[in-house]
Chain A
Amino acid sequence: MHPDNLSAAPVKTDAAPASRGQLALSAEPDALERFIAEQVEPRFGALHRWQNTMTHEMLLHRAAKRKQMTITKINDSNVLFFLSGMVVGGMDAVVTSLVSHQARRVSASKAMTKKYLQAAEVPTPKGRAINPTEYSRAVQHLKKSSGPVAVKPSAGRAGRGITPRVTTEAQLRQAWTSAMAARSATSSARYVIMVEEHRPGLDIRAYVVGESVVGAIVRIPFYVIGDGSSSVAELAAAEIERRQSNAYLAGRAPRVTDAFLAPMGITTQSVPESGALQLLTPIADTARGGGLAVDVLDLLSEELKDLAVDGLLAVPGLGAAAVDMLAPELNSATEAVVLDVNPYANLMQFHYPAYGTARKINDPIIDQLLHRASR
C-alpha cells in the first residue's frame, strides 16, 4: 500500500464498463498507440483509486518528518528543515534548496536549457529560439526543416502553447499565436519562441535525484476508444466519470468542448469508428488536459535512465529534478532525446499515477538534502 496514501487502492477489474471497445491498432501504429495498446488498455479496469492525496509540498514535508526533521515555516512560501538543531535545507514555494541559483535561471528557459544540454553533449532536438517579432524567421526555419517542427514558448507554464507536428505555414501561424499567448508574463526567459524539430516518441518524465532515477512515468494524452456510435462528447464524459473515484484525476478533469478539441480537428459530435484510438489533445497535458501518468520505472532501460541522469547533470547545481525525454521505445535509448529539465515538476504524478506502481520519490529527495547538508 502506498505509504503516503493509506486509503489508496486500485478499483476492481470488474469495474470496467462492459461496453469498452477493443482498440484496433492502425496499420502503422506509432510509439504512443503501441504503448496504449500494450500497457494501458489491458489495465483499463485497474485505474488507481487514490483518496486523500497529498500535495507536492505535503509529500516533501511528510518525508522530512519521517527523517525526524523539524519543519519551521518562515512565511507562506518559505520553509526550513532542521535536524538536530541544524538547518539541512529548505523550500522556497515548491523547490528545495537542492536547486542552485544558476539551475533555476536555466530551467526558466527552454532555449537556455537546450544550450546547456548541447554543451554537455546530451541529445536534444535541434531547434532555434526566435524573437516574437521575427515570425518570418520561423517560416524560413520550417521551410528548411526536413520534417515537422514543434513550436513552444521558451518560458511557458504547464505545457500551454505547445504545438507538435507542425508541417504547414498555416499550422505554424496558429502554433505561433498559441505559443505567444502562453508565454509567461513573469519569466526572465526573454519571451522567445522555440521552433525545434518534432521528434516522435513516448513522452517520458523521469525524476532524477543525485545520479539515480527514482521515478519514471509515461504521460499520455486524453484519449477515447470509439465504439462506432458514441460521440466524442459521450465517450469523454464516460471517461471523466470513470475517473471520479481517483482523487488526483477527478480534480484535473478538463471541460471537453469544441474549442478544446479543435487542435485535433474534431468536434464533440464526431463519432470515432469502432475500436479507433482518438486522441483528444495533441500533447500529454496531465495538468488540466486530461492526460494520464503511467508508471514505467521498471520498464525503463538502463540507457534511458543514464540519459535522464545526463540531462540532470547538464544543468549545474541541480540535485533533483524531472527530466523530460522523448523515446521511441522504453527499452532503448536509440533516437531518444532530452526535451527539458524541470526542478518544478509536481511529485504527485509519481506518487499517484493512473496506472502502475506508486513511487515514493519524496524520500530520496529529502535523503539528498541530508546528504548535501552533511558535506
Chain B
Amino acid sequence: MPSETAAARLIIDTLGSHPMNEYADVPRHDQLIRMALRRRRVEIRPVGERSLVFVFGGVVVGGMDATVTTLVSAHARRITANPQLLRRHLEIQDVAVEALDEPRADQPADDSAAEPSDEAQEAGSGVPAGDAAAAPAENEDAAGAPTENSAPISGNGSAASSNVRVFVVGERVCAALMRVPLLVLGDGQSSVRQLLDRQAVARSKHVLLARGPALPSDESLSALGVSPSRVLAAGELLQLEDSSALSENALTIDVTDAMPDSLLELAVEAVAAVPGLNAAAADLEIVDLESAEGAVVSAVIPEADIRPAHFPAYGEPHDVAGAIAEEILLRASR
C-alpha cells in the first residue's frame, strides 16, 4: 500500500498510536437489533422458527426475517442480490460504479417475472437467488454473522483503492468502516514474525477478530516472498492479504468522522437508488479518503453484519442497531 495516500496515513496513524479495541463478548447481529428495540419499549414476538414481529403499543410496527428487517423491501433484496441488476439501477441514477471492461449482457441472470394472481398466489415465480428457503443456520455463519447474499458489482477494487463500508439508515450515515486487508506496521525494531505474533495476541482479545483464520505461518510468509525475520522500518506497512473481508483477517477502522461529506453522500445515494431500501451498507472503493474523486460503489448490502460498526478493531463504536430501531419506529408512526 503506497504510504503517501491519505488512507495509508490514517492506517499508520491509527495502528501506530492506538491499541486494538478489546471485546470479550459481542451480541449477534440480530441480538443487537433486538436489544435496541427493547430499549425503546418495543415488544418482540417470535413467529415461526426464524421470524420476529415488533409490536409497539399493541400495533405491529415491523419485523425481522432471519437478519433482514422490514426496512428492506422484497424488490430491494432482489436487486441487491443481482450484481447486474444493481449496476443498472446505480448507473441509471448516475451513481458512480466501476467501469466494465467487457460489454454486459442485456438481461440479468435472475430475471424471472411473476404474474399477478386473481386468487392466492405464492410469492411469484421469481425468487431472488439469495431468497431461498433458508433455515436460520443458512443465514448466519458460525460466528453469528448474517450471510451476505448481495454480490459485489465489481471486483475488490484496484490495489491503490481502499474499501470503506458505510452503514446508511434512512438518509443518514450511521457508521463508516475502512476495511484494511491483513497487514503489519513496522516499528524499526521488530521482525515481521514478531509483529504478527503481537497482532495475534491483540486479535485474541477482540472476539470478532479472534474467530478469523490463523495468521500466516513462517512457511506462508516465505511463500509470499516475505522473510519472517525481516525488520520493517518504523511506519512501513507490509500488506499480507488482498481481501478486505473480515473473514480473511481484514481489520476495521472507524472512519465515520474522517469521511468527507461527498463520500458519505455517495453511500446515501447508492442506498437511495434501490427502491424500498431504508437500511443497508454501501461498499465504496475509494482512491482518496479525503475526496469522492474516483470513488465507486462496489456493493449495496441490506443484510450486512452491523457488529463491526458496534465493535470496530480501531476507533469509536457506532450504534447502527439503534438507528435501525429508530427508523422502524419512525416509519410506523407516520
With A91-B75, A102-B64, A313-B59 already in contact, the answer to whether A80 and B275 are too (CB < 8 A) is yes
- Interchain CB contact under 8 A, A105 and B65: yes
Whether B119 and A286, one on each chain, are in contact in the complex, defined by CB atoms closer than 8 angstroms, is yes
Which residue of the partner chain B has the closest CB to A102? Answer: B65
Contact of B123 with A by CB under 8 A: yes
A286–B120 Cα distance when bound, in Å, is 11
B118 and A286 contact, CB distance less than 8 A = yes
Q: Mark A123-134, 1 if CB is under 8 A from B, else 0.
A: 000000000000
- Look across to chain B and name the residue whose beta carbon is closest to the beta carbon of A312: B60
Q: Are A316 and B62 in contact (CB under 8 A)?
A: yes
Q: Find out whether the CB atom of B65 lies under 8 angstroms from the CB atom of A101.
A: yes
Find residues 16-74 in chain B having any chain A CB closer than 8 Å to their own CB: 45, 47-48, 51, 53-54, 59-65, 68-74
Size of the A side of the interface (Cβ < 8 Å), in residues, is 73
**CA gap between A15 and B78 in the complex, in Å:** 49
Interface residues in A285-318 by Cβ distance below 8 A to B read: 285-287, 313-317
Q: Is the CB of B122 within 8 A of A77?
A: no
Contact A157 B74 (CB under 8 A): no
Q: What mask results when residues 124 to 135 of chain B are scored 1 for a CB within 8 Å of chain A, else 0? A: 111100011100
Of B73, B112, B302, most buried by chain A (CB within 10 Å of CB) is B73
Residue A279 CB within 8 A of the other chain: no
Encode A160-179 as 1/0 by CB contact (under 8 A) with B. 10000000000000000000
CB < 8 Å: which of B68, B118, B127, B133 contacts A349? B118
Segment of B88-96, B150-158, B179-187, B220-228 in the binding face: B88-96
Whether the pair A340, B120 counts as a contact (CB closer than 8 A) is: yes
Minimum C-beta distance from A234 to chain B (A): 27
Contact B132 A314 (CB under 8 A): no
Is residue B115 within 8 Å, beta carbon to beta carbon, of the partner chain? yes
What are the nearest 5 A-B pairs in CB distance?
A: A317-B70, A316-B63, A97-B276, A90-B275, A188-B133
Interface residues of A (CB under 8 A from B): 56-57, 72, 74-78, 80-81, 86-110, 112, 115-116, 119-120, 155-160, 184, 186-190, 252, 285-287, 313-317, 324, 339-340, 342, 344-349, 372, 375
Can you show 15 pairs from A to B with CB atoms below 8 A apart? A74-B92, A77-B126, A78-B88, A88-B275, A92-B126, A93-B112, A93-B126, A96-B276, A100-B63, A102-B68, A102-B69, A103-B70, A158-B117, A159-B118, A189-B122
Beyond known contacts A75-B106, A107-B122: 16 more, CB 8 A cutoff: A77-B112, A78-B85, A90-B275, A92-B79, A94-B124, A97-B75, A100-B74, A105-B74, A157-B117, A158-B121, A159-B118, A188-B132, A324-B120, A345-B118, A346-B118, A349-B118
